[in-house]
Homo-oligomer: A and B are copies of this chain.
Amino acid sequence: MSYAIKVDGKVKLQDISTTKHNGIEEDDAREQTGRLGKELEELQELMFAAGTHGLLIVLQGRDTAGKDGTIRGLSRYINIQGCHVKGFKVPTSEELAHDFLWRVHPHAPAKGLVSIFNRSHYEDVLVVRVHELVPEKVWKKRYDQINEFEQLLAQNNTIIVKICLNISLEEQEKRLMAREEKVAKAWKLSVGDWKEREFADAYTEAYNDALTKCDGDHAPWYIVPADHKWYRDLAVTEILVETLKPYKDDWLRDLEARGEEAKAELAAYRQSLETK
């Protein structure tokens, strides 16, 4: 993995670059993203056809970090058939009457399919913690609960990739200002986004804990420097390709076996027609 930062041990997001671009320039990055995108397209098709594994992509990041933009970027390569994007917003009263994973579980990917979570169950240890929406003793238990939930999914052949888009507060301010200038973006304006900036440090602390406590081989966290959109898209596409590639040979083998089975069935059918 050349562009994202794999979490390893204790995370201090405040010390991690939001602009690191590893020597690569914009034009090269875009070209490389295109190449990796084609590879991703093929890998998804293979995963869909093999039908043995699902892929769960968790996207987190501060307001304006580029979650929507990342999904738009992936859209160029991911077949909409076989992919489900689920945004998790403020919970409804029915959702709040259940445990915090109740609304999340139904959107886990079936085998063969991709689910992209735009925000996720991690909000329940982020915004919920920052604004004290539940008592500390409740949210403190959630790190273990999340780990067990993700373990369950992983043991059922769900490939899990968790991505934290990391932007600076300066870049965030620029992006919020830009929304005021463009009519096409003005609808995204929200006083809430500005108010949340007052809690930036508390969010950093909450992110650090979530990234540190909920990282594992079965559900790794990646931190993506996200001040440059073109770099972000490259890093995310690379993460996905690198994550899926190790499964490729198995999927091809499964596919071949399924094809042979189907051909045998067809041959038997044809013979039955001839002997009629």
Chain A residues at the B interface, C-beta cutoff of 8 Å: 45-46, 49, 68, 71-72, 74-76, 78-85, 87, 116, 118, 180, 183-187, 189-191, 194-195, 252, 255-256, 258-260, 262-263, 265-266, 269
Contact = CB atoms under 8 A, between A and B. Distances in A.
Given A186-B258, A186-B263, A187-B259, 10 more contacts: A45-B184, A46-B184, A49-B187, A81-B85, A180-B263, A184-B255, A186-B260, A189-B259, A191-B266, A194-B269
Nearest to A195: B269
Contacts of A87: 81
A78 B80 CA distance: 8
A183 B256 contact: yes
**Copies, count:** 2
A262 to B, nearest CB: 4
A187 B76 contact: no
Nearest to A193: B266
A190 B261 CA distance: 10
A194 B120 CA distance: 44
A186 B80 CA distance: 22
Given A191-B265, A194-B269, A266-B194, A186 B259 contact: yes
A184 B251 CA distance: 10
Contacts of A190: 262
